[in-house]
Amino acid sequence: MKNIYINQVSSFLPNKPVGNEEMENYIGLIGGKPSRVRSIVLRQNGIKTRYYGLDTQHNMPHSNAQLAKEAAEGLFADKTIPENVTLLACATSTPDQLLPSHPSMVHGELGNFPMEIFSSAGVCLTSLQALKICYSNILAGLHKKAVCVASELTSPALVSKFYDPEYEATHENPDKDPYMAFEKDFMRFMLSDGAGAVLVQDHPEGNTPLRIEWIEMTSYANELPTCMFMASELQADGRLKSWKEFTPDEIKERGVLVGKQDIRHLKKFAIKYWVNHIETVLAKHNVKPEEISCVIPHLSSMLFYDKLNEEFLARKIALTKEKWFVNLPSVGNVGSAAIYVALEELIRTKEIKRGNKILLLVPESGRFSYGTVLLTSE
């Protein structure tokens, strides 16, 4: 079987890093009041700085598609996509619009030449889904050179004006408990904007070519409930009620378009099923954890740093934190882009030796899917 390589990695983080004390200057105060759970959320997520694509006046210098463009062009010294790149695969959770597709808009921003494009939509795992499209197409001989880019522009959707109508409708009603506190602020104070891209080819090139040994993904949606959702409302029976089923006033007053996460499900299922997946795919490919030189786990919050490490220790899997590279505290949770942003920083700041094996671990809590990629440095 032919070998496929990641020959270049780039990232783009907009504007300057935003510290915890500045955060609400950008995304605002819900109901004009400081969050009651701010200190708890920030202590648990461990994030010190993040990046926002908007300024304090809510101007947006970049769209999501433009963030992706910056990362894609960053793969090349002259910032130009060469004509022998024939496939563009884009991943995001936060497209600028429902239609046209996100990669159509990225391709439009690049303005290069006609090419095949592919869209991967979902949550964090979309990054690896897009990578597998590039990998599979090159493996099949359909393409020789592809760009995979993941990007997120979440901050505009975190601005307080989208939360205020629900707050106004509920905060003075003694029969309603405002669904504001931990679930929403958990995401508001965690998410970050940015993009990451990889150049995928059928031969090694450059200073640090990484051979893709395999890409594996598993969904447990057949047995686990919805955990993270947006543009919908979770019903008591577990069904998601779509935004299409609400009146315009209900959409505003119930915060239907606002992203939410059920922290109870996250704590109950996320780590157990993540490690189940990792054990399964390592066994499938006869890879011993002791062979792995470095692990990049995509952590949504440092809340799960010790929990993941403890699960590895409990199962006697030699993938504990001594092998980890984690940049969440300094860049925030960049969603689908996070794994490529971390890989770029690893290559730029650490010595990668020939033969080193790097494991990329990406969980997705939308309805619990997981992905793992094994790379070998050449």
pLDDT in the model for residue 265 = 93
Taking the CA atoms of 170, 172, 174 and 178 in sequence, report the sign of the dihedral they define: positive
* Alpha carbon distance 56, 246 (integer Å): 32
Give the model confidence (pLDDT) of 131-151 as tens digits.
999 999 999 999 999 999 999
Of the chain, the percentage scoring pLDDT greater than 90 comes to: 88
Closest to 287 in 3D by CA, of 318, 245, 324: 318
The verdict on whether omega for the bond into residue 204 sits within 30 degrees of 0, i.e. cis, is no
Q: Where are the domains of the chain?
A: 5-209, 262-377
Give the model confidence (pLDDT) of 219-230 as tens digits.
999 999 999 999
**How deeply is 79 buried, as exposed, middle or buried, from its count of CB atoms within 10 A (0-12, 13-18, 19+)?**
exposed
Of the chain, the percentage scoring pLDDT greater than 70 comes to: 97
If you average pLDDT over residues 60-67, what whole number do you get?
Answer: 96
pLDDT in the model for residue 185 = 84
Q: Quickly state the pLDDT bin for 171 (edges 50, 70, 90).
A: low
CA 60 from centroid of its chain's CA atoms? 20
pLDDT in the model for residue 178 = 45
pLDDT in the model for residue 165 = 87
pLDDT in the model for residue 263 = 87
* Alpha carbon distance 370, 337 (integer Å): 15
* Alpha carbon distance 7, 4 (integer Å): 9
If you average pLDDT over residues 95-119, what whole number do you get?
Answer: 97
Instruction: Report whether pLDDT(174) > 50.
Output: no
Instruction: Report whether pLDDT(183) > 90.
Output: no
The verdict on whether omega for the bond into residue 61 sits within 30 degrees of 0, i.e. cis, is no
Token pair of 58 as six digits: 């809510």
What CATH number labels 262-377? 3.40.47.10
Considering only residues 224 and 169, tell me which one the structure prediction assigns the higher pLDDT.
224
* Alpha carbon distance 213, 51 (integer Å): 32
Total-model pTM? 0.96
Q: Quickly state the pLDDT bin for 173 (edges 50, 70, 90).
A: low
Give the model confidence (pLDDT) of 14-53 as tens digits.
999 999 999 999 999 988 988 888 899 999 999 999 999 9
Instruction: Report whether pLDDT(182) > 50.
Output: yes
User: What does the DSSP 8-state code read for residue 333?
Assistant: B
Pick the CATH number of 5-209 from 3.40.190.80, 1.10.540.10, 3.40.47.10, 4.10.490.10: 3.40.47.10
